[in-house]
A and B are shown apart, each in its own frame.
Chain A
Amino acid sequence: MISEIEENQDLIVRTVRDFATRHIEPFVREWDEKQYFPLEVMQQLGQLGLLGVLVPEAYGGAGLGYREYVGVIAEISRVDGSIGLSVAAHNSLCTNHILLFGNEDQKQRFLPQLASGEFIGAWGLTEPNTGSDAGNMRTTATRDGTHWILNGSKNFITHGKSGHVAVVIARTADPNTSHNATAFIVERGTPGFSAGKKEDKLGMRASETAEMIFQDCRIPDANRLGEVGDGFIQSLKVLDGGRISIAALSLGIAQGAFGHALRYAQERQQFGQAIARFQAIGFKLADLATEIEAARLLTYQAADLKDAGKAVTREAAMAKLFASEVAVKAANEAVQIFGGYGFTKDFPVEKYYRDAKLCTIGEGTSEIQRLVISRQLLK
């Protein structure tokens, strides 16, 4: 007899699979080629409750935990990593930042629209000159009576152009001082806030990545998230959850690529038998299956710890580091197993190969994850 939690998880996963099979899979290649961000699919996902997975029902969300959230992201990403990335960024960065650090008024104002998909969320920390070194950001917010004036730019922002609302971290004190950043909610249409260049990317092409530009952009103090100076600390906490997201994204990509490779290896005949029967391919499949299972366990472990309210910095970083490296390896081996066909766009694995690479870079590179883990070990 399976437990209620497992039955629920299974139903959620099957629901997401049904949706992805019907509404995402047929368009994967077209969206990838055209670099088309399907806003309409995001809104449908919102109607299903998948854009406010962690948001309590009182604010219009699904009120689920990280365990279910991981299942959702992985299942979407199994079909299309780009959509998985967009759903992950919307849920765990923008929406989660407001959920974790917003006051009651801010939660009431923004969470219901974010959870329903009426608003798509963006989250801005990275800048052209500060990726991993976020503490040295150049975007500033200067107080002006009851307002703040933002100047600067953020880049590589998921939904930087189409997002209706963005959480932006800006420097509110001198560089190289502690507590020098503060988070603000910026709505699209605010004078002085515009979108810059949309990036033309190697992979994750159906997920919009763009620059956000602030020129004397006046933000009411009512849109400040938490205390002045807490922006960077808040961001690190948001990223702890975000890493579970990217681990789930990686897991889905790995499972998707592996699924295609496994099927193909059983169908493709060479020298009178399926190539899966050759030890060279069989062992590849065995290694991948084992590593994907390990990535899955690490990811769900981090999710369960997070759901239990425990510290997850180390475990989330481990899950993200390992799962993303497994995704890259699985996609690489899938292309190898497909051989020449794998190198063409007529077969699905080359896209996983391109998409997977983002996972070792976004929301903290593999190198930063190792730094986080080692610091936790040496504490």
Chain B
Amino acid sequence: MKILVCVTSVPDTTTKISFTDNNTKLNRAGVQYITGPYDDYALSRAVELKEQHGGTVTVLNVGEADTEPVIRKCLAIGADDAIRVNADPTDAFFVAEQIAAIARENAYDLILMGRESIDYNGGQVHGIVGEMLGLPSISPVMKLDIEGSKARITREIEGGKDELEATLPLVLGCQEPIAEWKIPNMRGIMSARTKPLKVVEPAGNDTLTKVAGYELPPPRGAVRMIPAEEAETLISLLRTEAKVL
């Protein structure tokens, strides 16, 4: 089984966000990058499926050279090789176009990725990739098992779960609890250095969206402590101020 796992390199979840260039770009100074947490789930499940069924896991990232530490970590976790499309991942369409171009050259049985990146949280790439390749795309996938050429999938839907069966190849957006995050071991880290990481130039340059500006959400207000014996005040504030009752 040939699995492609698409990963994003995103700011660590504890990053303090600020912007530059007239609020059109993220201020990258001092930001620590990590693998997208949902992509980590996809990768972990891919490695497990490889252990069960054999095959290969290839990691794909659309990003500039500074994303390579994130890619190396994916190799350390158990991917066999990696491809980096040497470009700034400007928007979902552009990224999907790159993934589709790589997928057309290689017959992957599964194309896995996180249900969304945690930087811009678009959640569109898997859908666009599926459309471009003419393959079913399903998201968010919480459970994935493979039997022969069939995939058994549990997808989260509003208020419940959807049990699906589909024939490979497929494009899937993944989330917990599809697998437990894997932490690379020291041998994995050492062997990651010698695993192939191919750098390719982007297939097209179709950026369909442009950022006009970012705005931070308003800062959280201070906590107000209301003594337990003043429950009536609390209820009144929830009614009149918070307007949640």
Contact = CB atoms under 8 A, between A and B. Distances in A.
Contact of B193 (A4, A48, A49): A4
B185 A48 contact: yes
B186 interface: yes
A305 to B, nearest CB: 22
Contacts of B73: 11, 14-15
Contacts of B72: 7, 11
Interface stretch (A57-65, A95-103, A312-320): A57-65
B190 A63 contact: yes
A12 B69 contact: no
A307 interface: no
A49 B187 contact: yes
A8 interface: yes
Nearest to A19: B183
A144 B183 CA distance: 49
Contacts of B68: 7
Contact of B185 (A10, A14, A22, A49): A49
B189 A15 contact: yes
B184 interface: yes
A53 interface: yes
Contacts of A53: 186
A128 to B, nearest CB: 37
Chain A, interface size category, equals 20 to 34
A227 interface: no
Interface in B177-216: 181, 183-187, 189-190, 192-193
Interface string A13-27: 011001100100000
Interface residues of B, number: 16
Contacts of B183: 15, 18-19, 22, 48
Nearest to A48: B185
Contacts of A10: 69
B111 interface: no
Contacts of A22: 181, 183
For the complex of A and B, 9 pairs with smallest distance between CB atoms: A49-B186, A62-B186, A48-B185, A49-B185, A19-B183, A18-B183, A11-B189, A15-B184, A49-B187
26 contacts: A1-B65, A7-B68, A8-B189, A11-B72, A11-B73, A11-B76, A11-B184, A12-B186, A12-B189, A14-B73, A15-B73, A15-B76, A15-B189, A19-B183, A22-B181, A47-B185, A48-B184, A48-B185, A49-B185, A49-B186, A49-B187, A53-B186, A62-B185, A62-B187, A62-B190, A64-B190
